Amino acid sequence: MDESEHPTTGWGQGLRRAADSLLGLVQSRFELFTLECQEEKLRALNLIVWLAVALTLGAAGLLVGLGALALWLWHVAGYLGLVGLMLAALAAGGALLWALRRRIQTGPAPFADTLAEFRKDRECLRDGP
């Protein structure tokens, strides 16, 4: 049997193990990245839906307000209920926009876990085994 056909020890096997470890590391990081991508997609969709709700309430408040103002100018009395509805819709829209702004500002950074894992990997490679 020729030794070159079946290397059982040596740097070739070590190289294969290192390559396998590196591929396993890259695979696990890629899986983490895809999970975080999915989370970011859902988070962005959630924010878009709430933004649409806030904008709709704001637009409804403006429309009710303009309608109430027009009716009030016609009749000059008795439409405090419509003005109250306008203020309530505007307040709800403003509160939703404020909450969305706060969520965006204080939310986690995109792909924070993946970046943290890459930092750990760099530290391990820099410090050695």
Summarize pLDDT for 75-92 with one digit per residue, the tens.
Answer: 755 556 667 667 777 898
CA distances from 41 to 45, 50, 105, 116 (A): 6, 14, 17, 20
pLDDT digits (tens, 9 = 90+) for 63-75: 888 777 667 666 7
pLDDT value at residue 52 = 94
Q: pLDDT tens per residue, the chain (129 residues)?
A: 455 555 556 787 888 888 888 888 888 888 888 888 898 899 999 999 999 999 999 999 988 887 776 676 667 555 566 676 677 778 988 999 999 999 888 877 777 777 888 888 778 777 765
Global pTM reads 0.44
Name residues whose C-beta falls within 8 Å of residue 40's C-beta, 6 or more positions apart in sequence.
110, 111
Side-chain-facing half-sphere of 54: CA atoms under 13 Å: 16
What is the average pLDDT value for the chain, to the nearest integer?
80
